Amino acid sequence: MESQHSERIVQEVWAKGRATADADPNLWRKDACGAWMRRDHYGRAQSEFAWKIENVSAGGFETPENLRPFNCANSYDRANARSHCRLTADLSGVPTPARVLEPRNRTA
């Protein structure tokens, strides 16, 4: 997968991912589905933590305001204005107050 966005846009979109208190936000974020993404895996479709940039505005331009990060397994349905989640974070067996030392995903 080849990037069509400048590094500035990629970073702006990355910053829109959900940061969590239990992971370095410069390296790890979650998409709208809750799936983990790793910053340096942008465009690496074969990685569990790969992510891409989706335009979430029906008919909207490819501007930072209309772009969001999504794990490569997930997508955004602009026609119905909702996320299509095939992958989420795997929190099974992890107690609520426990720190997640290694992010994991699972098929939704």
Look at residue 59 and tell me if it is in a domain.
Answer: yes
Phi, psi of 39 (to 5 degrees): -50, -45
Whose CA is closest to 56, among 46, 45, 67? 67
Q: What is the pLDDT of residues 33-76, one digit of tens each?
A: 999 999 999 999 889 999 999 999 987 788 889 999 999 999 99
Read off the pTM.
0.84
- State which residues form the domain around 77: 7-107
Determine how β-strand 36-38 pairs with β-strand 87-89.
Answer: unpaired
Phi, psi of 84 (to 5 degrees): -110, 105
Task: Tell me the two tokens of residue 1.
Answer: 């997968």
Give, for 53, the enclosing helix (H) or strand (E): strand 51-55
Look at residue 1 and tell me if it is in a domain.
Answer: no
What is the count of structural domains for the chain?
1
